[in-house]
C-alpha cells in the first residue's frame, strides 16, 4: 500500500506510472488497429475476430475497464505533472524555455483529454451501440455455420455517417500527435533511452505515428467512398 501511495505521490513514481499505462495503451491501440484493418478483407474475417473477442465473456469487460482505468490514470498524472512543472518553473527569465520543448510535448494533457472523450464516444457507439439497437440484431453466418454478430455491417454503417467519420479521423490524428512525443517519453521514463539510439527511436516514433494515422483514417475514408482504390474492398 505504501509503495502504491509513493507511486502516486512522488515525481519519479508518477512518471513510471505514466510510462507503464502508456505502454499498455500503446499495445492496445496497435492491436486494435490490426483488428480493424480486417474490414478490408471478406466479412468472414472481422466477424470471426468479433466472435473471438466475445468468447472472452466477462473477461472482455474487465479488460475494457482496465484499459479505461489506464487512460484515466495516464491523463490524470499528465495533468498533475504539468501543474507541478509550471509551479516549479521560475519566472522572470528573458527567454521562454518552453520553446525548447516540442509542441506535442506541451499539449500532451489537452490532447489526452480529447482522446478520452473520443474513447467514451467510441465505446458508446460501437460497443454499447447507443442509438443503434438494431446492430445487436444483425447476424452473420460464418463458414463453420456459426451465427455471430455482424461486426462488418456495424462498422460500415457506423462510418457511413460523415460526422462520425470526421470526428474519428480528428481524434485519431490527435492520438497520433500525442504518441509522437509519448513513445520517446515512455522509453525515457523506463530508463531505456540513451544517446546512441535516440535518433533511431525518434525516427521510429514519427514513422509509427504517421502509419497509425493513415491506416486508421483509411477505414472511414474508404467506407465513405473517398478512397476509390480501397473503397472497392468494402462489401456493402
Name the pairing type of β-strands 147-149 and 139-141: antiparallel
Concatenating the DSSP letter of every residue in 144-158 gives: TS-EEE-HHHHHHHH
d(CA 180, CA 182): 6
Domain boundaries, the chain: 8-87+102-231
Q: What is the pLDDT of residue 162?
A: 96
In terms of DSSP H, where are the helices of the chain? Answer: 2-9, 11-36, 43-54, 58-88, 103-106, 108-122, 151-159, 162-189, 198-223, 228-231
Contact 75, 118 (CB under 8 A): no
Sequence-distant (6+) residues with CB within 8 A of 194 are none
Q: At what angle do helices 11-36 and 58-88 cross, to 10 degrees?
A: 140
Q: Which fold has domain 8-87+102-231?
A: 3 helical TM bundles of succinate and fumarate reductases (1.20.1300)
Q: What is the pLDDT of residue 124?
A: 87
Q: What is the pLDDT of residue 100?
A: 39
Q: Which residues of the chain fall short of a pLDDT of 70?
A: 1-8, 89-109, 193, 236
Can you name the residues that pair with 147 across neighbouring β-strands? Answer: 141
Tens of pLDDT along 213-224? 999 999 999 999
Instruction: Say what the alpha-carbon torsion angle 208, 154, 71, 27 is, to the nearest 10 degrees.
Output: -40
pTM here is: 0.85
> Minimal CA–CA distance to 182: which of 109, 131, 88, 126?
109
Amino acid at each position: 500500500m505504501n509503495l502504491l501511495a509513493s507511486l502516486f505521490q512522488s515525481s519519479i513514481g508518477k512518471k513510471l506510472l505514466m510510462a507503464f499505462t502508456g505502454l499498455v495503451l500503446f499495445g492496445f491501440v496497435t492491436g486494435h488497429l490490426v483488428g480493424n484493418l480486417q474490414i478490408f478483407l471478406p466479412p468472414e474475417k472481422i466477424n470471426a475476430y468479433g466472435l473471438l473477442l466475445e468468447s472472452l465473456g466477462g473477461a472482455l469487460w474487465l479488460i475494457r475497464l482496465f484499459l479505461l482505468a489506464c487512460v484515466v490514470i495516464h491523463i490524470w498524472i499528465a495533468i498533475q505533472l504539468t501543474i507541478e512543472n509550471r509551479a516549479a518553473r521560475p519566472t522572470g527569465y528573458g527567454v521562454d524555455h518552453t520553446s525548447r520543448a516540442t509542441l506535442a510535448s506541451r499539449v500532451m494533457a489537452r490532447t489526452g483529454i480529447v482522446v478520452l472523450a473520443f474513447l467514451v464516444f467510441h465505446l458508446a457507439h460501437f460497443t454499447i451501440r447507443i442509438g443503434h439497437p438494431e446492430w445487436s440484431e444483425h447476424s452473420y453466418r460464418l463458414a463453420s455455420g456459426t451465427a455471430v454478430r455482424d461486426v462488418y455491417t456495424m462498422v460500415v454503417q457506423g462510418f457511413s455517417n460523415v460526422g462520425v467519420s470526421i470526428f474519428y479521423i480528428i481524434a485519431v490524428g490527435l492520438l497520433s500527435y500525442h504518441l509522437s512525443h509519448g513513445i520517446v517519453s515512455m522509453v525515457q521514463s523506463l530508463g531505456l533511452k540513451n544517446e546512441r539510439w535516440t535518433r533511431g527511436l525518434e525516427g521510429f516514433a514519427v514513422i509509427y505515428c504517421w502509419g497509425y494515422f493513415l491506416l486508421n483514417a483509411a477505414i472511414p475514408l474508404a467506407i465513405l467512398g473517398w478512397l476509390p482504390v480501397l473503397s472497392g474492398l468494402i462489401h456493402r
